[in-house]
Structure 1
Amino acid sequence: MVPHLITALTGPINELEARILDSMPAIERWFRLEWMEHTPPFYCSVDLRNAGFKLAPVDTNLFPGGFNNLTPEMLPLAVQAAMAAIEKICPEAKNLLLIPEQAHTRNTFYLSSVQRLMRIFTQAGLNVRLGTLDDAVKAPTPVALPDGSELVLEPLLRTRGRLGLKDFDPCTILLNNDLSEGVPRALQHLHEQYLLPPLHAGWGVRRMSRHFQSYEEVAKKFAKLLGMDPWLINPMFGQCTEVNPGDAAGLDCVQTNVDALLTKVRRKYKEYGINEKPFVVVKADTGNDGLGPVTVRDAKDLGEAYARARARAAASNVAVTEATQVIIQEGVPTYERVNDAVAEPVVTMIDRYVVGGYYRVHAERGVDENLNAPGARYVPLAFAGSHHLPRAGEKPGANAPNRFYMYGVIGRLAMLAASYELEATDPDAEVYE
């Protein structure tokens, strides 16, 4: 299924699709060479936005959910990718301990994703059990799922330098917890166990601005390979590291950067003949602060935009810890539709392989708003029956595998940027002068 794209079937995005299809052998060789030098994140998902005039990632999640949204046809590929990932790290692996987000252990939609993830690694040949960081869980606790099945959450058991469960000693620990609350003592100073992703992938260390700085580097390399403008796949950005959202003067840095970035985007719009009013998105550099992304079309409207975001958070009973470090990102509208509702593709990867994806759909949000919000629903992205390979020469936008291949390429560029990012922030990496 290809959703309706409400832009004309001409213009930059279709030229980009044609160029990517024509360059497929060169692209795949380029990725192979990059992966010889850089280690991909264990798994990740990438939120994309297709504006018709550009296609770009807007968020890269190193602790992805949504595995329950993958089509059953994609599961064999996910299992193969999981096998490849585990074999590289711990070929003799027998036991895998999966640690989910403790804040979402009552969210059955999230737990359905965890169940699917457990199934993938079980089919990859591992004994998989679920350990929770929630201190309130003192004994194995069953949790019912919507399909009538259940998961069992077990209390973690720390024994000297190892972490496991009662009668379960894993060689590999898979985190599905973004560590936004910090690194628990139970995960620190582990010996002879593989912790995936590493602790410095958590939001205690990670910064969106660092990721998009790495992505800009990757996009420039890729654009040079294809002889194209990197802006077509890269959202420009700025950042502020000292912000006080509760004080008018505390937003001066943000306001200045919003104005500067809007000026750059207007210049690009003029270059490409795009007759739209650009916008930027302000969001916490350290992940989610409860406010979520704030959309701004004019720097002088920043205070009002923050006020609307606070009101929306209050109406949804969302706890807010307003960020003191923010990234100001070029807004990329989404012009994809599923049943007349705004949609954006999410690409899911394990190791260096695309294993599927889905559309995030929100009937109550606009083309310039964050869709990852209450009320969103999810439509499996068929990666259109993986047995259908992309075909060059067809009218751009008309062929599902062609569109999905393009999504997969941009998703892998963001994953490669994440590998650059993790290398740069690795506390154990050797630094050569």
Structure 2
Amino acid sequence: MNSEMIKTKEMLDAFVCHRWNDINKYIDQMMSTLPTPIYSSVDIRESLDKYAPVDHNMYPAGFNNVCSLDLEACAKEFKTQIKALKSDAQTIAIIPESHTKNLFYLDHLAILSKTIREAGFTVIIASPDQALFQESPKLALVSQSQYDVEIVQLKEVNNELFAGETKVDVAILNNDQSSPLQMPWKSITTPIVPTPLIGWFARQKIKHFSFYNKVVLNFADKFQIDPLLLEAQFSSKENIDFSSKEGVEELAAEVDKLIAKVGEGKSIFVKASQGTYGMGIMVVKSGKEILEMNRRERNKMDVGKNKIKFTSVIIQEGIETAIRYDDMPAEVTIYLVGGKSLGGFMRANQERSSTDNLNAKGAVFRKYCISEIKQNNDYQCKEAVYSIIARLSTWAAALEIEEALK
């Protein structure tokens, strides 16, 4: 227990750096009985006065942006996690997104496959999407970085998964299911992680950040930390139709309420609760801007990936990033395997300001090695804090999964 309340970012940095082992031990203890996602990634903003996760990805892309040292650490943890699911597992299927024309996503699939292969497994990329196999039972693709990527058909036979003709021991889902995959998930006996029951057809950002708030209050109470150092304030609004403008006036009122709490002049992020891939996001400074949205702006907020209709939003305090990379505003994304922060990158965007959504056209990435953080390494304090924030966010995701599996 601390002798005094941690009330500033500087105090938090020093505390995490010098109590690194105790903090991680406590998070391990709290997550030990929860269904922790096998992997995830967390987007983190750092302002002048706080840190906050702004998104949690249960089915992350972007492993191609993780440094080679951290990929080695990821491989070791993948081995531990997969063996815990099935001790004699040999063949792993990665179930991908269907947007095979995205060459950077194919880079990600190539590196994720290589990482799991280096953990000692046979890896096959296999999709249940029949539309991919109209001309051939397998796809032979080449990624942006010229990696060969082969995708075969995933089938369910007698409640077990097969990649082509090969029986799958464990399947790793890398499809966020904005549009649900047509598979009898509940009857399949092959272990599938993360659970397919929590894709974006069912998941809500509102729920994740509500769980994150509970996690932060628990963690802050344990270590006597001001919880506002660890999260963005938020509210939510449901039953909105941006096309017909139904619920838009109430949304504008919610924006103004949050501005009254966080202070005039602050940016507010309005995000579709089921939004992914940086879609369904707008940044405003008043409720009036919501009321004055033009048709093009409303259309962007109305429909997202795979034509999913957005009807609920999270209204979130904008965290103006204090991080700069090559004089561009930047934010950090941390990658976790088994709930442990093991890799990451910095996302920067010359075309955006420090208050904008940086996950947009113009984004560039810098690899960010974090897998060898040690206690009392003062030069790693920032990386240590990002790592802990990401772990807290993944603790919240584990609570989401626990609820979905009930």
TM-score with structure 1 setting the length: 0.86
1:418 paired residue among 381, 392, 397: 397
Change (3 A) 1:404 1:143: same
Shift of 1:179: 0.5
**Mapping of residues 169-248 of structure 1, within 5 Å:** 169-182=167-180, 184-248=181-245
CA RMSD of aligned residues (A): 2.3
1:349 paired residue among 336, 353, 378: 336
> Structure 2: which amino acid aligns with 1:286?
Q
Q: Give 3-state SS (helix, strand or coil) of 1:105's partner.
A: coil
| Residues paired across the two proteins, number | 396
1:110 paired residue among 98, 105, 108: 105
Shift of 1:286: 1.4
Change (3 A) 1:289 1:59: closer
Q: Give 3-state SS (helix, strand or coil) of 1:156's partner.
A: strand
Q: Give 3-state SS (helix, strand or coil) of 1:48's partner.
A: strand
2:367 paired residue among 380, 390, 404: 380
Match of 1:31 in 2: 27
Match of 1:83 in 2: 79
> Structure 2: which amino acid aligns with 1:174?
I
Shift of 1:42: 1.2
| Preserved CA contact (<8 Å) 2:16 2:381 | no
Structure 2 residues not aligned, in runs of 5+: 1-6
| Preserved CA contact (<8 Å) 1:291 1:320 | no
Shift of 1:369: 1.2
Return the alpha-carbon distance in structure 2 between the equivalents of residues 320 and 13 of structure 1.
41
| 1:96 equivalenced with 2:81 (yes/no) | no
Q: Give 3-state SS (helix, strand or coil) of 2:288's partner.
A: helix
> Structure 2: which amino acid aligns with 1:361?
A
**Mapping of residues 128-139 of structure 1, within 5 Å:** 128-136=123-131, 137=133, 138-139=136-137
| 1:58 equivalenced with 2:54 (yes/no) | yes
> Structure 1: which amino acid aligns with 2:281?
P
Shift of 1:291: 4.8
Match of 1:156 in 2: 154
> Structure 1: which amino acid aligns with 2:170?
T
Q: Give 3-state SS (helix, strand or coil) of 2:292's partner.
A: helix
TM-score with structure 2 setting the length: 0.91
Return the alpha-carbon distance in structure 1 between the equivalents of residues 87 and 177 of structure 2.
27
Q: Map Cα deviations across residues 152-178 of structure 1 (whole Å, 9 max, x no partner).
A: 111223323222123200021111000
Shift of 1:382: 2.3
Return the alpha-carbon distance in structure 2 between the equivalents of residues 278 and 310 of structure 1.
22
Q: Give 3-state SS (helix, strand or coil) of 1:234's partner.
A: coil
Q: Map Cα deviations across residues 363-420 of structure 1 (whole Å, 9 max, x no partner).
A: 101111111112211110122xx4563536x4xxxx2x22111100000000001011
Match of 1:68 in 2: 64
Change (3 A) 1:363 1:164: same
| Preserved CA contact (<8 Å) 1:216 1:234 | yes
| Preserved CA contact (<8 Å) 1:49 1:332 | yes
> Structure 2: which amino acid aligns with 1:167?
E
Shift of 1:225: 2.0
| Preserved CA contact (<8 Å) 1:208 1:286 | yes
319-328 or 336-345, which moves further after superposition?
319-328
Return the alpha-carbon distance in structure 1 between the equivalents of residues 176 and 279 of structure 2.
18
Return the alpha-carbon distance in structure 2 between the equivalents of residues 253 and 320 of structure 1.
24
27-36 or 334-343, which moves further after superposition?
27-36
Return the alpha-carbon distance in structure 2 between the equivalents of residues 390 and 111 of structure 1.
36
Change (3 A) 1:367 1:132: same
| 1:389 equivalenced with 2:362 (yes/no) | no
1:301 paired residue among 258, 283, 289: 289
Shift of 1:139: 1.5
Q: Give 3-state SS (helix, strand or coil) of 1:343's partner.
A: strand
Return the alpha-carbon distance in structure 2 between the equivalents of residues 123 and 63 of structure 1.
20
Return the alpha-carbon distance in structure 2 between the equivalents of residues 321 and 142 of structure 1.
29
Query: What is the percent sequence identity of the aligned residues?
Result: 28
Shift of 1:88: 1.5
| Preserved CA contact (<8 Å) 1:118 1:128 | yes
| Preserved CA contact (<8 Å) 1:219 1:233 | yes
1:324 paired residue among 299, 305, 311: 311
Return the alpha-carbon distance in structure 1 between the equivalents of residues 292 and 277 of structure 2.
18
Shift of 1:249: 4.8
Q: Give 3-state SS (helix, strand or coil) of 2:348's partner.
A: strand
